Homo-oligomer: A and B are copies of this chain.
C-alpha cells in the first residue's frame, strides 16, 4: 500500500524547518541553509545535484538515498515550489531547480490558484492542485502506482498532513544550530496524541536522524 513519507526534513534544535524572511535570495529563509549542511557532503547528493564523483557514504548518505527509494510521486507546498504568492502573474516561474528538477515523477503542488500542468525535463511534471491536502494525496496515490508518495514540505504543509494523520513516516534530521524564529514544526502539534512515536534514531557528526512513525 502506498505510504506518505517525509524524508530528510531538516530542523534546527529549536524546531524550525526554515528561517524567517523566505524570498528569492533565501529560499530556506535567513539562516535556513545551515540546516542542510549534513546533506551536501553525501555521495547521493553529489551525484544527483552536481553530477559529481565521490562524497561520503555512511548513515547520512543512507538517509538521503532512502529518501528516493520507492518514491512514485511527490507532494509539495507552494512555498517549496517558489517565492510567488497570490495568483500566478504568468507562467514564467518553473520552480527553484532549473529545467531538470530532481523529482523525475509527477509532483503535486498545493495552491489556491489554478495553473496548467508544467512538464519539465527528466520525467518531472508539476501539477497545481487546488482542492487541498486530501485531493493532492488522492492524485499522488494514483500517480505513484503502488509506490510511496514523498511529502517534500514545507513546514506548514507537513503540519497540515500530520494533523490529518495522513503521514505514515517522517524522517527528521536535527542539525546542531539554533534559528530562533521562522517556521516551527512542533508548535501546538501534539504528535503522540496524533498517534506518532519515535521508531529510529541514528546520530552522526552532522545531524541526529529521527524516524517517527504512526
Contact = CB atoms under 8 A, between A and B. Distances in A.
Interface of A: 13-15, 31, 172, 174, 176-181, 186-187, 189-193, 196-198, 201, 203-205, 208, 210, 212
Nearest to A187: B187
Contacts of A203: 203-205, 208
B190 A181 contact: yes
A189 B180 CA distance: 7
In the complex this chain forms, how many copies of it are found? 2
Contact of A176 (B15, B179, B210): B210
Contact of A174 (B179, B204, B208): B208
Given A13-B186, A180-B192, 5 more contacts: A13-B174, A176-B201, A181-B193, A203-B205, A203-B208
Q: Is the interface of A mostly helix, strand, loop or mixed?
A: loop
Contacts of A190: 180-181
Contacts of A172: 13
Nearest to A13: B210
Contacts of A212: 178
Contacts of A210: 13, 176
A80 to B, nearest CB: 22
16 contacts: A13-B174, A14-B15, A14-B191, A15-B15, A15-B186, A174-B208, A177-B198, A178-B191, A178-B192, A178-B196, A178-B197, A178-B198, A180-B189, A180-B190, A187-B187, A203-B208
Nearest to A190: B180
Query: Which 4 residue pairs spanning A and B have beta carbons closest together?
Result: A203-B203, A180-B190, A14-B186, A180-B192
A178 B180 CA distance: 20
A109 to B, nearest CB: 28
Contacts of A192: 31, 178-180
Contacts of A205: 203
A190 B16 CA distance: 11
A171 to B, nearest CB: 12
